[in-house]
Each structure stands twice: as C-alpha cells, then as structure tokens.
Structure 1
C-alpha cells in the first residue's frame, strides 16, 4: 500500500512558524541603516501639479530625500514591454512620471528619512498646489459613454451571444426583467502592501515584496529600471492575505526601488490603511437581466448586460456575463458587457473577479423567475441543467453539480421550506431560505518545479509560486511525500523566491492544478532515477523495472505484486554512492486535450437568514455549501478555503461597500472602522461538503482549484433568502437594514 497523504486533513506545515511569529512578512525584514519611505498622496481626482514644495521637509535633520516628478531620472519604463502578468489593455500607471493627476490619492511624492516617524512627520510638510480639472467618477451618470468590454487579457473570454434572444424573449410565456448593482469593494488584507529593498554592495537588489508573484515583481523592476534580472532577487516567503490585491506590482514597490537605487541605500516603504484604498478594487457594476420561460419552467431566453468601471489609462475587463451559458440549457442567450472610463485607479482582480459579481445578478434573477412561475428555485435549476456549455457545445471535463444540489439540499433540509414569502417566523424574526448556484473556471497554466533528494532521505522541492494563506506549502509537501513515499517531515517546500523555477502569479484558483502537477511530475522523475539506480545494483530485483511495476512507500521501493521484495532509498543511495539526485520539470498544459472540454468548478449554496420585523436587521443563521472541486488535496485546508469564501460572501452580501464622495472622487470610508467587513459575531453555522470527482483533464493530480468557488453564489443565496423572509426584493448590495425597511429605490 502506497503512503497516502493527498486528501487527508493535514495540519499546515508552516502553521507553527505563523502562530509563533517565526514567519516573517515583508515589512518585518530589517538591516542596520535601513531608511524608511512614506508616500505623500494627492488630494484631487484630476488635474496637474502646479508646484510642489519640499523645502520644509528637507530642512529636517534626518530627512535624506524627497522624490517627486521633478527630481527622478528618466526610466526604462517608457518602453511598454514592462507590462506585468496581470495587466489589462492600456498604459499602466507610472508613479511620479509627470505632473498629471489621474485619480485621487495618487502618489505625488516619497519622503525618505532615517526613521519611520520622522518620514511620517516630514510628509505632512510637503505642500502641493494643483490645477484642478473637472472629473467624473460616478458610473451611473456616465453609462452613455460606455465602450465595448473587449480586449486582450489573459483569462478573459469576450462574451458572445447565441441564438435569437429578442425573438425568443418576445414569444416567452413568462418574463422577468430587473436591474442589479453593487458598490466598490476593497481587498483589505491584514498585511498592508510593503516593499523592503536591500541595496547590496555590488549594486544588486534583494527585494522583499508583498506580492502574489515574485517573478512578476522582478520583471516589473527589471523593465522599469532597466536592470538585468540577475541583479534583482525578489522574495515573498509569507503573504498576510492578498485576495488579488497583490497580483500586480503596486506603487510602493516602485517607490522603494527608486529610492534604493538613487540613494544606494536600503529602503522600506509600507502603505497606510487609507492608501490601501488608493489602488484597485472590485469595480462598481450595474447589471440588467431578462429571462423568458415557458409556464412549465423551461428557460427560452436569457439576456445579461453589465456595465462596470475602468480607469482612463487602462481597460479593466472581467468575465461578468459569461456564466449563463455554462449553467443553463438555453439556446438564445444575449451577453453584453461594457465599461466606462472614469477618473479612478484601474480596478483590480478581487477574489472570483467577475464571477462573484455576475453570478449574484444571474442567480437573483433566477430566483425571481422561480417565484413568478410558482416553482421551487431548486427545481427550476434542475429543469434547465446542462451537461455542456451552450455557447460552444463542449462537455465539461467533470461536473458533479447535480449531486451538489442533492447533497446540499438534504443537509440543509430544503424540502421543509414553505415557499411563500413571510411565511416562516421565529418570534420577532422572519426566517428566509434561499439558494443559488456557483461556477468558476478550472485553470491550469505553465509551471516549473525542481526537486532535490539527498542521501539522508530528505527531499526539497521548489517553485517560485506564492502561498497567500491558502496552504500551498502544505499541499506541495503532501503531493511530494505521497509521490515518493516519504514522511511529511522529510519534505521541505520552498516558495516565494525569484531564484526558484518559474511559476505564474498565484491567482485564479490555478496554483494547485499547475504547480501541484509540476511537483508531482518532478518527484516522479526522482522516483524514476531512484528505480534506475536500484536496478544497477548487483542482484537487484528491479533490473529493467518500470515505475508501473513498483510502489514507492515508507521510504522504500517495493514490488507491486510482492511487497516483501523491496529496497530502501538509503540502500540505493549508499550502494550507488549518490549524495544528491536533482531534477527539474516544466509543466505545459495539454491544450490539445483540454480544449475539447469546458473546465469549471461548481457549487450549490443554501442560506438561512432571520430579519427583525421591527428593525430590519438581517442575520445569516445557517449556510450549507456543496462544492464540486475535483480531487481535494487537503481536506483541512480546502475546508478552510471554502469557509473563508463563504465568510466573504456574507460580508459581500451584508457589509462591504466603499463610499466615494464624488465631489472629490475619493473613497471616504478608507479604514477598517468605517469599511465594514463581517466579523466573528456575524458568522453562522457554516456546513461545507465536497462532492469529489478527480479531474484528470484539468490536472494530473485531479484537482481543479477551489480558492474562488467558495465565494461565488453566496451573496445571491443570501439575497434570495432575504426576499423569502421579507417579501421585498432588494437588488443592490450590500443588503443593509435601510434597504430592508424602506421602499425607496436604492
């Protein structure tokens, strides 16, 4: 029997370091003589800097320099090839590049001093005079100026309509039409963005950066400053949450690197919590849904139209309207997606970008249709269930959504639901039950991994990918240990270092399928080498044997049919006089195989809410989330991932909203006392179940990736439950008590 670790609920291998403080994050690295930089943020949304006075700040003893657009050198970034791995179409923002102001809180200066406190004080003395221009920051007021949401961007599929929606909708017996919206949401990870740049004696840089991709940050520095990548090493061993905010290099990396190169000193720059609201967010989105069906519930027409915001300098696009064809058997689907250029920073991928947004509106509209048909919402979804993507006719690589519906409904007790709104009451609270479907892409991207097996029986694996709290260190260790038959404690995973083999940015739920498969493959190469060397030993029973003939388990090679015939790894290494076995592997997705299928994860979410009859307060009291995520690599970390997604879904549904004062084009609730997120007291009983079916089309380890799917559909299920409880349909997020209590349009 082979040693089995995959799928087991193993503790995080980095857990002890994190809870004891041994794990160091970007801003915690220090060297003697380290300088501190503080960013000065602009105060207008659009215009130009007429004058910037730094004299008073520079007069302070201990202030080393103040960098502005007036005193930085010409940089290599004038060549647009410096775009990062996650850049949308357009021209990326260039900090301190000119006197132009493109968004409020744009960085206009960097004060560098001997201490953080001194830099903070000196930053208040920098005086900036502006020439103010008229700005526009309100999406709803500028829809007439929208442009087609198309463009070249990795992971984005331009929406295409199928069939004849207008004709089918006109002929439909039952119709619903509704508009849904949500405000801006900001990532707010616990660890704020920071970069610590150590300037080495030879002029090279060792950079600790808050990033989801060290190679992306390395590429950015190299292209902006015209440096050889050999002169730039980027590390990010631990990341205190990111959720997409660290996919792209943020401006503190530019600031810290600029200062270090110009001063030939080591420099640290950490953004404040308000400055975390100055770059990227889930874009404000307005969506219009139309559904047409027969009286028996067969959907015959779907129209999904979305408007979202982007900056004036880049065209940020998401898969917002593309999901209906993946979920419902309908031959007439209209998909329209447009963006509006506003004087804001470019929006940024935020957990399940596009999916969390688009599925909220689609699944709320499905609930509205179910009520109009007087049909159970679950029955409506099953009646229109599809085994193929209607837009291209391709089947799914695997899909256990039907079983997710079944098991989730049974666990929740859905059959006990009274379908009438306001019909279930608990004291002074109306009880509501709602459900929704989730879908997300199951991606695999190129990745490299290396492995080194030593004579002492230890194995080190490495890849430049990140662990943003998802458990990447742990699952890579499990995959390696199981593949080679080693104890977990004899495997060490190295991540988050640009000196390690190539990996794409850690995002899109692609890491487990990509880097995980690369780790599995490189460990198989180690196994193959061990077996070959074992076969060279005099009298070896493994001469000429193939990997399929043997089992690697308990630190030995055994005959598959006769386990008593075996040889320990130690024997092989000692007999063959081997100190190390080193291998590398480059994983390239099998596109010939993969393009024959649609590759997705799915979920079925069931929610219970209680709404106070007098106060309108909404409390989520129960969630059941059934997940179709392929093979689960670690039951404990996977459970944690879905749990976190559900928590975020509750937060999205009831709490999160960034308020902008459009007079100034600035987010005004830019700290954690005013930007509300769900806390422990808001959490209900969350029941998570996995309906597993290994997906060997997506990855050789059978995993699909589950980082995003836990969030998708949760807000819709809660919204639908609120309607069931109150009889009032709220079509904008978050679902706050004022919306529950008033009839005015939000």
Structure 2
C-alpha cells in the first residue's frame, strides 16, 4: 500500500488558468448529452400543446392516432396517472403546475401541454402528435401587460414585496433635483444550446431519469414528491448540460416521460423542440419600472423609490424582483422599493440569468445617469457620493464592497477622464459616438451541499458531489479547489458530478453553485487529510471522507455578501438608419476569490455579451389575438451574433472576505447586470436622446431622433 498524498511540485492550482477538464470530450463528441444516451427498447414521446390561450379541453380524438404506425400510447387528462403538486420543494417554493401535466381539462395559456404521443421512433411520435385532434371550449384571454393594470398586486418572491424606511413625502419636498421616469424591458427567453431532454425508466422498482438540469438532487426530490416515492427510489443523472440560465429545473418533459414510462414499463424519452421551449421552459417576464429619485444639488440622494411590475401566469406566481438592486446599491434618507405582479393568461415565467438584477439594474442605473445629467456631475462621481456604509435597507455590514475600486480601475482602463460629458458632439462621418457606464451587483449566496472525497492507493483522488456544470466550468473549478485542499496536482483528481446518488447539493443557479460545492469539497478534503495522517497506507477500496455544510452556512447570515462591478460601453449610432453598434465594452468586477481565471473571464464576458443582446436585440412579442408569440424560434427571436460582438474585456480587482472560508462570490450572473444600462447611457451620450424602453431598435432610434449638445 502507498500513501495517497504526494508533495506538489508547483504553486497552488486555484487562481491559475486551467482549460476545462472535460473540454476534449465535448469538442470530440465523446461527452454525451441527455438526448443522446442510448437505451434498450427506448420509446419516444412528443408533447402536444394547446392551440387556444384560455378554455377547457372538450375531447381528445386519440383513436385515429393510436392506429398510426409505431404509436404506443396517447396520454392526456382523461387517462394519465395522477401526480401530486401540493408541496414545497427544495428551493422553498411549490412546483409550477405546468409540470404536473395531464391532470385536468383546464387550459390557462397558449402552449399548455395537453397530451403526449409515444411511439417507437421520434419521427413516428412527431407525425402522430401533429395529427392529434383536440377540441376546446375557448374562453376570452387577457395578455395585456402594462403599468396601469388595476389588478396588479404587491408580491413576495425571493424577497419581501416591499422594503422601506424614512418619510418619502418629506424627502421629496426637500429635494432640489427630482427625477421621475418609467423604464420598460420586454419578455426574454433562455434558449440554451441544448434543448430540454429527459429519459425515464423503471429499474427494479427504482425510477431513473437521465436529464439535462441544473440540480440533480433538486429534480430528484421534486419528482419523488410528485410521484409519492421514497426519496431513495429516484435517481437523476445529468452529467453534461448544454446551458441552462435558470430554465432547467422541473419541467413538463420530465414528468411526461415518467408518466409514459410508468404506463408502458419501458424507457421513454421526451425532448422539447425549440418552439416548445418558448412555452414550456420559462422566460424573463417583461417589466415596467418607475424610478423616482430626489437629490441635493450635489447629487446626494434624499429619496429613492423603485416600483417594478412584472407578469406571471394564472396558475403560478413567479416574481421578477426588479426592485431588488436598489435595496443594495444606494442609500437615501427615504427609501422605498416594491415588486408587483399581474396575473395574465400566459405561460409561467421563471429564473433567468440575474433574475431581478438584469432588468432592475437597467432602470436604476439609467435613472442614475439621468440624475447625473440633471445635477451636472459625472456619473461615477454621483455613485461615489451615494456609496452606502452598510446595507441601505438591511443595515447589515457588507462583507467587502469594492464597487468604487471597480469604477476607479475601469475608468482608468477605459479612458473615462478624456470623455467630453456633452451629448451628441462626437462624430465619425454618419456615426455619432458616445460612452456610458453603470454599476452592477449580485448576491453571493450558498446552499447546503454534501461531498465525498476518496483517496486511492495509486495516489489519485475521486471527488463525488451532486454539482451541475451547465457550461460554467464548474467541474474544472472543483478539480482545482480539491487539488489545493488535498495539496496535490489537478491531474491526480477526478471530479464526478451530476448524479443525485452523490447526495444533496445546491443547484447551479443564483451564482451559488461553485461557492456551495467548493465549501463541501474543501471540508471533505480537510477531513480526509486528517484521517490519512493517522493511517499507514491506503487499503484497496480507498479511504473516503464525507462533508455536509448545512450547519456551517448560518454563520454567514450576519453580513451582506455581493459581487459588484462597473460596466463601460462605447457605441456608434448611425443617424441615417438608426443602427446602434457597440464598439467596445469593459467590465471590472469584485467577485471574491477567482478559482479559474480562464473560465471566470468566459462567464463574465458571456454575461456582458448577453447585455448587448438585452440592450439592442432581444424581444419576444405576443400577438394579442392569439395570446402566443410572433415567431417563437431563433429565426425571429434576435440575439447578438458574432458581428454584433465587439472588443469585450472583463477583469477583476482584489476582493477578499476574511470571514468566509471559501471566499468565492460567483461570476455566473454579475456580467449581465448593468451591461444594458451602460449601453443605453452610451446611446444617450451619442445622440442626446434617452431610450427608456429596451431593446433600442433602429426604428425607435429613428423615431426619437437626435439632439445636439446642451439640448438633451
């Protein structure tokens, strides 16, 4: 027997750029995704979605379809097994009833799942599903989202609906400068590269799901409750995921696959089409946001009010917390923020990269730029003058708040000091040029997780944790964290993830994944080292240590922990066509301990590029007549392409937290926050005209026109 831990010959792995450990498998096709893994006797299910926006199902004519070649079953509300949906899941919220498919005859929105056709091949299932006739009793629908809805209500979500302090009326009366403006953002969709896909099968009384999701323990736990199973009777595997952004939780396709596998007693795979994802995978709700700021002549805030309205479905209340960023970013004598929702006949929205912060920062940071203009001071100086010493609402101390360090470094590298503050004065031929900036923040949270680390006689280690790598590089980051904790080389560490049998673990969401999992891995590795110090060697089966961070997380609740950032953008606006081109972007972030600079920079720039999409392209439009989307596909839903992406740079400043044993704050979402506002502020600087509605389309630019310096 040999000892497992060998001295390292190089410096620590954390903080050193490292290519993805699974990179070769992905680019060569060796890595298999959920819809590619073979199964014996695999059947294929194809979802049938409603063609009306509100009503009831009168009948499903499944007889002719059942007679079609290869068709094995047609499941609908009249024959599907029952499932449970009245419970609170792992994330503290009930499941979206959209996932509890075929349980009743109600249709609450266009694109509601009404049936599943199962056949021997995917082609047979699709042909039969498209031939299935469903009759409806149609009812009038309402999808009219706007700020004046009288039925909008204050709603808690991931945070209380209302947070306030001080006397708003008195603060407004004493303000020398007042800004009162409304900002809007449209409905936006995730569209990860890999569609939602799941295969379900029963194996000796145990349900096994091969899926593409953001948390195997999360999905396994909710499926166990839905099907009234013991938690140990469900296993979910999700080794490789081609993107998620918040959409890959418990969805209709997994439940439909389980129902069909239960009826047929053979493996069944259900894959969403791209068009189906527009109805079934969730989306970012549109918002209308009113921001009212009152300030002294020097820009110091007396009043900060932010009211954010989003939409939700009639079956599930999801709140897009757009007013949340204001509770963290700036202080004022009087402070009031509120999140409201209105229930409409639309599919349920869900978490989407930087939920709340992405649309909320557009409104807040645009408003701050407008206030800076009114006060005649630099936008960065305005933020300096309103930098809080503690949480503006919570009063809790910050566990590191290096926002101003981000602005100082960003301004230096971007050349902000040379900026002429007057709008509409820089021109290159037909192009007007402008620059803008905005702040960013995102909460640094963590979820309880478990991990095991095994030392093998050959000097290698295996880490097992129910993590999910949705393209963020988490598998590589955990390899580096484990290598450092074990004081060995990354090449001696194998990290296995994406299996609910590895135990409970946090989700890949909320920028909490790598932070949560690293904590568990570090704890298990520390315990393993202590155990190995007491043994003379490693037995053939190895030595394993296990960790559970449930109790350790409570100590971090006494401080506000956030990543911060400063976004900078330069744009060119064509006065003849209305086209807006982003020429360059720079983001400087304070995001705690950076585990892998290579993948961290990838995440930050990816978020910034999505900010370009948000500012200039993305907009899902609904037809009032049908209640559905106009062009729910990637041909009609525009996103930033290669030609739209300029020089995008991301970097970070030192950002340590001495009270946090992990030190990671997360980089998955902070990159998109503030990016759209920086671009919109740059468009104002170029043209002298404010655009408070996203996206800033050419027709909107042409309609608004341009103004010369001093007339904005």
TM-score category, normalised to shorter length: over 0.9
Q: Structure 1 unaligned segments of length 5 or more: list them.
A: 534-571
Across the aligned residues of Structure 1 and Structure 2, the Cα RMSD in angstroms comes to 1.7
Q: Per-residue deviation at 1:158? A: 3.8
Q: For 2:35, what is the secondary structure of its paired residue?
A: helix
Does 2:279 correspond to 1:271? no
For residues 172-216 of structure 1, give each alpha carbon's deviation from its aligned partner in whole angstroms, at most 9, with x where no partner exists. Answer: 11111110001100000010011112333x232321112101112
Distance 1:173 1:401, change over 3 A: same
Q: Which residue of 2 aligns with 1:58?
A: 66
| Partner Cα distance (2:283, 2:45) in 1 | 24
Does 2:582 correspond to 1:620? yes
Q: Per-residue deviation at 1:141? A: 7.2
Q: Is the 8 A contact 1:632 1:692 kept in 2?
A: no
Does 2:153 correspond to 1:192? no
Deviates more, 1:265-274 or 1:591-600: 591-600
Q: For 1:56, what is the secondary structure of its paired residue?
A: helix
Does 2:566 correspond to 1:604? yes
Q: Per-residue deviation at 1:274? A: 0.5
Q: Which residue of 2 aligns with 1:650?
A: 612
Distance 1:423 1:711, change over 3 A: same
Q: Which residue of 1 aligns with 2:625?
A: 663
Does 2:251 correspond to 1:287? no
Q: Per-residue deviation at 1:327? A: 1.7
Does 2:126 correspond to 1:165? no
Q: Which residue of 1 aligns with 2:130?
A: 124
Distance 1:285 1:636, change over 3 A: same
| Partner Cα distance (1:497, 1:93) in 2 | 21
Distance 1:642 1:86, change over 3 A: farther
Q: Which residue of 2 aligns with 1:711?
A: 672
| Partner Cα distance (1:720, 1:97) in 2 | 48
| Partner Cα distance (2:274, 2:671) in 1 | 26
- Aligned equivalent of 1:700, options 661, 677, 681: 661
For residues 256-306 of structure 1, give each alpha carbon's deviation from its aligned partner in whole angstroms, at most 9, with x where no partner exists. Answer: 110001100111110111100003110011000111111111111111111
| Partner Cα distance (1:14, 1:86) in 2 | 33
Q: Which residue of 1 aligns with 2:513?
A: 511
Q: Is the 8 A contact 1:45 1:101 kept in 2?
A: yes
For residues 498-554 of structure 1, give each alpha carbon's deviation from its aligned partner in whole angstroms, at most 9, with x where no partner exists. Answer: 110210221101112211011011101111112223xxxxxxxxxxxxxxxxxxxxx
| Partner Cα distance (1:158, 1:100) in 2 | 30
Q: For 1:296, what is the secondary structure of its paired residue?
A: coil
- Residues 309-708 of structure 1: pairs in structure 2 closer than 5 A: 309-533=311-535, 572-573=536-537, 579-588=541-550, 590=552, 593-697=555-659, 699-708=660-669
Which structure has the larger Rg over C-alpha atoms?
1
Q: For 2:524, what is the secondary structure of its paired residue?
A: helix
Q: Per-residue deviation at 1:60? A: 1.1
Q: Is the 8 A contact 1:179 1:287 kept in 2?
A: yes
| Partner Cα distance (1:464, 1:283) in 2 | 30
Q: Per-residue deviation at 1:90? A: 7.9
Q: For 2:164, what is the secondary structure of its paired residue?
A: coil
Q: For 1:661, what is the secondary structure of its paired residue?
A: coil
- Aligned equivalent of 1:143, options 149, 153, 157: 149
| Partner Cα distance (2:379, 2:666) in 1 | 28
Q: Is the 8 A contact 1:444 1:589 kept in 2?
A: no
Q: Is the 8 A contact 1:446 1:503 kept in 2?
A: yes
Q: Is the 8 A contact 1:3 1:486 kept in 2?
A: no
Does 2:255 correspond to 1:259? no
Q: Per-residue deviation at 1:344? A: 1.3
Does 2:68 correspond to 1:107? no
- Aligned equivalent of 1:215, options 217, 220, 235: 217
| Partner Cα distance (1:61, 1:455) in 2 | 56
| Partner Cα distance (1:435, 1:398) in 2 | 22
Q: Which residue of 2 aligns with 1:45?
A: 53
Q: For 1:585, what is the secondary structure of its paired residue?
A: strand
| Partner Cα distance (2:147, 2:78) in 1 | 36
For residues 348-371 of structure 1, give each alpha carbon's deviation from its aligned partner in whole angstroms, at most 9, with x where no partner exists. Answer: 000000000111100000011111
Alignment size in residue pairs: 696
Q: Per-residue deviation at 1:664? A: 1.2
Q: Per-residue deviation at 1:402? A: 1.2
Q: For 1:161, what is the secondary structure of its paired residue?
A: strand
Q: Structure 2 unaligned segments of length 5 or more: list them.
A: 1-7, 706-712
Q: Is the 8 A contact 2:111 2:347 kept in 1?
A: no
Q: Per-residue deviation at 1:3? A: 4.1
Distance 1:84 1:112, change over 3 A: farther
Deviates more, 1:45-54 or 1:86-95: 86-95
Q: Which residue of 2 aligns with 1:180?
A: 183
| Partner Cα distance (2:42, 2:394) in 1 | 56
Distance 1:578 1:96, change over 3 A: closer
Q: Per-residue deviation at 1:244? A: 0.2
Q: Per-residue deviation at 1:106? A: 0.6
Distance 1:87 1:663, change over 3 A: farther
| Partner Cα distance (2:641, 2:107) in 1 | 36
**Superposition TM-score, scaled by structure 2 size:** 0.95
Q: For 1:439, what is the secondary structure of its paired residue?
A: strand
| Partner Cα distance (1:207, 1:336) in 2 | 40
